[in-house]
Chains A and B, each alone.
Chain A
Amino acid sequence: MKSTVKRLVSATAAAALSLGIAAGAQAASHSETFKIGVVTFLSGGAAESFGVPAWNGGKLLIDMLNKGELPAPYDQKGFGGLMIEAIEIDEAGGATKQVQEFRNLVQREKVDAVLGYVSSGDCLAVPPVAEELKAFLVLYDCGTPRVFEEGSYNYVFRTAAHAAMDNISLAKYMTSRGIKVGSFAGVNQDYAWGHDSWADFVASMGVLMPDAKATTSLFPKIFAGQYGTEISAVMREKPDLLHSSLWGGDLQAFMLQASARGIHKRMQIALAAGDHVIPQLGQKMPDGIILGARGMNGLAAHAKGGELVDLLWDRYKAEYGVFPVQAPFRMWQGLLGVKAAVEKAMKANGGKKPTAEQMAAAMKGLTWEAPSGTITMALGNGHQAIQPNAIGTTKWDEAAGEMTLVDVEYYDAECVNPPNGVKAVDWIKAGFPGAKCD
């Protein structure tokens, strides 16, 4: 009897102990988080157009992911059950500061991944440091093709397509919509983005509309604010088409000053990345402006619809009182890409939190669904994304009291992005060999 009691006590104690250990283990796995550093412009000239809307979208999506509010395949809470803990960093201050901030995130904050960078300068400066520290880095926004065309990295990925596709798509839109272009001019900012955009557009037009002549190309300095003289110069030239990749406050000021002088009635205006100023300009953005959103983002994504787009569109609008433009879409595709990579790596890792090496291996060549379409890490040996694009024409909806996009043309990712190993500008000049267009 005594021994039975003894055995019972021992068994109960053992059971209690094992339950306790299990409970403890359970608690440990629940308390484990995935720390992600998010770097974007929270102040300065790019904050209002890109950084702040992107981070607003990021906060919203992280909250929804932690609560498990997304549909399949994103219905698992957080990243593979790990609650997401974000540390946001302001990108303002230049590349030197961002390199230091990146080191702080990795070495002091011990983040598991860094998602960030709008500025092309930062996107070129930070990757070598990520390689040195063996830290998982995802570039979510910047446009320069040079990151993977001139460099090769193991731990660095970019989840948004580079900028060549914006201008290739614009040129394709002119041909597919039958817009007659005898001559065209450009007003682009005087730094890499403006010059690259103009060069890509001129090269694309050279292939698709060889008879169209490039006339004036103006490069006012970034944040110039005053465009009266540039507008006069373009109006005096009387081109059929005006191309511009201006963004943010510069684009808003340009459209206010140009539309007041009726420039849109005298020539077709095409804006490579113009969707993001519509919420601010409203009806001051005239009807009939052709514009892109650096991907199938914003109004173009909404026009196409889908479960994920509709859910995020409605939640963003309810939360911030304005519709999401391109920046939140790029943040969403970046975060969902990280989620897909982390969960793939965890699956291969027995459900444990993956290392930077395991996440990098999982992300290489990955394909995932985002509100902006199917994203594939097809370039830069599996490190650079391609994505579908869309171009449309503005039209004010009087009844709804909001701007819409009409005559939207959608382009498959492989139609407007070069194949792996080919530089964008070489691909354009060769006449888009191997492009897969429907």
Chain B
Amino acid sequence: MDLILVILVDGLIYGAWLFIVSVGLTLVFGVLGILNLAHGSLYAIGAYSTATAVGIYFAYGGDAFPLGSYAVMALAALLVAVVIAPLLERGLLRHFYHRDEVIGVLVTYGVFLILEDAIKLIWGVDPLFVYEPYDLLGMVEAGPLFYVAYDFLVIAVSAVAGFAVWYFLNRTRRGKVMLAVIHDREMSQTMGVNVDKVFLLAFGAGVFLAAFGGALTAPMISVSPGIGVNVIIVAFAVIIIGGLGSIEGAALGAVMVGISRAASVHLMPELELFIIYFVMAVVLIFRPEGIFVRTQTRKI
């Protein structure tokens, strides 16, 4: 019984982290039709910006109100989105919306390489640490083990972020306009929708979510060059399982990968890496487009 509880808790913690780092990727694909390979770099920039901002916060009296560091983390991610999203979307990506999807992949791969070097130019190769927010909430007992309460904060934040994105898309007028653009770009344009604005908003949200994923992760790791590379691989697995462009799919995919990986580490550790891609393969056998995307017929 204890083992099941531990697997569930570990799986949910890992799954929540996976969701927050992959939901932006699926949102951008859903709206813009671009598979953004630079997503991992945006995650890394979010982590670096957070490390810098929180470091400054504590250097200038943040100790008096340490909980304020959580607001600083969110603001750092927001700043990344406000600065980078218009530059990338208006300056580069909009020129490729009508091209083949492969072109989008190549362009964002180029952006990924540029951003990886830009990170080294700005922050250097030495690691940054910002562990204060990680320790702030103490520990929580779950079954036979102790966990850092921050891990449960990540679960809560992921749930709120997922719900907010779902609510925005399905329950607000602007969200429905965005869905209309996803379904038929040309028709939306003829109905008077400012498609450029929708694209910028969606890409900005995607960049914010990537950077926010980095911000939430920064306190638990050493923020150093290359941290975004592994994230993009596992994020792809998650959104492929759930279905490219589906928010609900990303949530379900993240939880499936999180729990199956946790079960593997506890029961058969030698299968830890295999299990993620095994889950993906099984899903694709039965649902080639992912769990939440309906197979579409097309004319030949």
**Interfacial residues, chain A to chain B (CB-CB below 8 A):** 42-45, 47-48, 52, 190, 216-221, 223-226, 228-230, 232-233, 235-236, 248-249, 252-253, 256-257, 260-262, 280-281, 284
12 additional A-B pairs beyond A223-B230, A228-B13, A228-B147, beta carbons within 8 Å, are A48-B225, A223-B226, A223-B227, A228-B10, A229-B11, A230-B265, A232-B147, A236-B2, A249-B222, A253-B222, A256-B220, A261-B148
- Given known pairs A253-B222, A261-B139, the reply for A232 and B127 (CB within 8 Å) is no
13 contacts between A and B (CB under 8 A): A217-B269, A218-B272, A221-B273, A223-B226, A223-B227, A228-B13, A232-B6, A232-B265, A233-B265, A252-B221, A256-B134, A260-B134, A261-B147
In the complex, the answer to whether B221 meets A253 with C-beta atoms within 8 Å is: yes
Residues of chain A within 8 A (CB-CB) of B272 are 218-221
**4 closest A-B pairs by CB:** A252-B222, A253-B221, A229-B10, A249-B222
B17 neighbours in A (Cβ, 8 Å):
226
Residues of chain B within 8 A of A218, CB atoms compared = 265, 269, 272
**Contact in complex: A226, B14 (CB < 8 Å):** yes
Assess the B125–A48 pair: CB atoms within 8 A: yes
The contact of A236 among B3, B129, B139, B229, by CB within 8 Å, is: B3
In the complex, chain A residues whose CB is within 8 Å of the CB of B176: none
B223 → chain A closest CB, angstroms: 9
Judging by beta carbons under 8 Å apart, are A43 and B125 in contact? yes
In the complex, A234 Cα to B267 Cα: how many Å? 12
Q: Given A229-B266, A236-B3, A236-B266, decide whether A249 and B230 contact each other with a Cβ distance below 8 A.
A: no
The CA-CA distance from A252 to B220 in the complex, in Å, is: 9
Known: A45-B224, A48-B126, A252-B221. A236 touches B144 (CB 8 A): yes
CA distance A247 to B14 in the complex (A): 22
Q: Mark B11-28, 1 if CB is under 8 A from A, else 0.
A: 101100100000000000
A218-B269, A224-B230, A226-B14 given; A284·B129 CB < 8 A: yes
Residue contact A48 to B127, C-beta cutoff 8 Å? yes
Residue of A with least CB distance to B120: A43
CB distance from B263 to the nearest CB of A (A): 9
- Across the interface, name the chain A residue whose C-beta is closest to B17: A226
> For the complex, is B146 an interface residue (Cβ under 8 Å from A)?
yes
Measured CA separation A285–B104 after assembly (Å): 44
Would you call A219 and B269 a contact (CB within 8 A)?
A: yes
Q: How far is the CB of B47 from chain A (nearest CB, A)?
A: 10
* 167-220 of chain B: CB within 8 A of chain A: 217, 220
Q: Which of A47, A225, A229 has the most CB of B within 10 A?
A: A229
- Minimum CB–CB distance for A201 against chain B, Å: 17
Nearest Cβ on chain B to A428's Cβ, whole angstroms? 23
Contact in complex: B222, A47 (CB < 8 Å): no
Whether B10 lies near A280 (C-beta < 8 A) is no
A260 to B137, CA, bound (A): 11
Distance of B229 from chain A, by nearest CB (Å): 7
CB distance from A354 to the nearest CB of B (A): 36
Shortest Cβ distance from A55 into chain B, in angstroms? 11
With a cutoff of 8 Å between Cβ atoms, the chain A residues found around residue B13 in the complex are 228-229
CA distance A364 to B265 in the complex (A): 47
Residue in chain A with minimal CB distance to B11: A229
Taking the complex as formed, is B39 at the interface, i.e. its CB lies under 8 A from any CB of chain A? no
Counting contact residues on chain B (CB < 8 A from A), the size range is 35 or more
Q: Let me know if B221 and A249 touch, CB within 8 A.
A: yes
With A48-B224, A232-B10, A284-B131 already in contact, the answer to whether A225 and B145 are too (CB < 8 A) is: no
B89 at the interface (CB under 8 A from A): no
In angstroms, Cα B125 to Cα A318, docked, is 20
Task: Mark contacts of B106-144 with chain A using CB atoms, 8 A cut-off: 1 yes-contact digit, 0 otherwise.
Answer: 000000000000001000011101010011000100001
Q: Which residues of A contact B125 (CB under 8 A)?
A: 42-43, 47-48, 52
Q: Which of B147, B150, B222, B227 has the most CB of A within 10 A?
A: B222
Q: Which of A47, A220, A257 contacts B148 (CB 8 A)?
A: A257
Does B262 sit at the interface, judged by CB under 8 A?
yes
The docked-state distance in angstroms from the alpha carbon of A216 to that of B3 is 15
When chains A and B are docked, how far (Å) is the Cα of A256 from the Cα of B129? 10
Q: What distance in Å separates the Cβ of B274 from its nearest Cβ neighbour in chain A? A: 11
Expressed in whole angstroms, the Cα–Cα distance for A219 and B274 within the complex equals 12
Q: Chain A residues near B230 (CB, 8 Å)?
A: 221, 223-225
Q: How far is the CB of A316 from chain B (nearest CB, A)?
A: 15
A256:B221 contact, CB within 8 angstroms? yes
Nearest A-chain residue to B116, judged by Cβ = A43
Report how far A145 CA is from B127 CA in the complex, Å: 30
Complex interface: chain B residues within 8 A of A260 (CB): 131, 134-135, 139, 148, 150
Distance, CA A228 to CA B129, complexed state (A):
18
Cα distance, A256 to B61, chains bound together (Å): 23
In the complex the two chains form, what is the Cα distance from A284 to B135 in whole Å? 11
User: Which chain B residues lie closer than 8 Å to A256 at the CB level?
Assistant: 129, 131, 134, 220-222
Q: Are A262 and B269 in contact (CB under 8 A)?
A: no
Q: Which residue of the partner chain B has the closest CB to A230?
A: B265
Distance, CA A106 to CA B9, complexed state (A) = 56
Contact indicator A229/B3 (Cβ below 8 Å): no
- Which residues from A are CB-within-8-Å of B261? 229
Q: How far is the CA of A213 from the CA of B109 in the complex (A)?
A: 48
Check A223/B220 contact, CB under 8 A, given A47-B125, A229-B261: no
Q: Is the CB of B14 within 8 A of A216?
A: no
Q: Which residue of B lies closest to A228 (CB)?
A: B13
Cross-chain contact A229 with B148 (CB below 8 angstroms): no
Given contacts A225-B217, A249-B222, A256-B131, A262 and B139 within 8 Å (CB-CB): yes
Choose one: B6, B127, B144, B229; the contact of A252 (CB below 8 Å).
B127
Greatest chain A CB density within 10 A among B2, B10, B221 is at B221
Within residues 145 to 159 of chain B, which ones have a CB less than 8 A from any CB in chain A? 145-148, 150-151
Shortest distance from the beta carbon of B117 to any chain A beta carbon, whole Å:
9
Most chain-B Cβ atoms within 10 A of its Cβ — which of A220, A225, A232?
A232
A387 to B220, CA, bound (A): 36
Q: Give the nearest-CB partner of A282 in chain B.
A: B129
Contacting residues, chain A, for B9 (C-beta < 8 A): 232
In the complex, the answer to whether A45 meets B226 with C-beta atoms within 8 Å is: yes
Residues from chain A with a CB closer than 8 A to the CB of B151 are 228
Residues of A within 8 A of B229 (CB): 223
In the complex, which of the residues A217, A219, A221, A229 contacts B262, with contact meaning CB atoms closer than 8 Å?
A229
Using A236-B3, A236-B266 as known contacts, say yes or no to A280 and B222 having CB atoms under 8 A apart.
yes
CA–CA, A217 to B139, complex, Å? 26
Complex alpha-carbon distance, A13 and B179, angstroms? 97
Among A190, A216, A235, the residue within 8 A (CB) of B273 is A190
Among B10, B14, B145, B225, point to the contact of A47 (Cβ < 8 A): B225
Residues of B within 8 A of A47 (CB): 125, 225
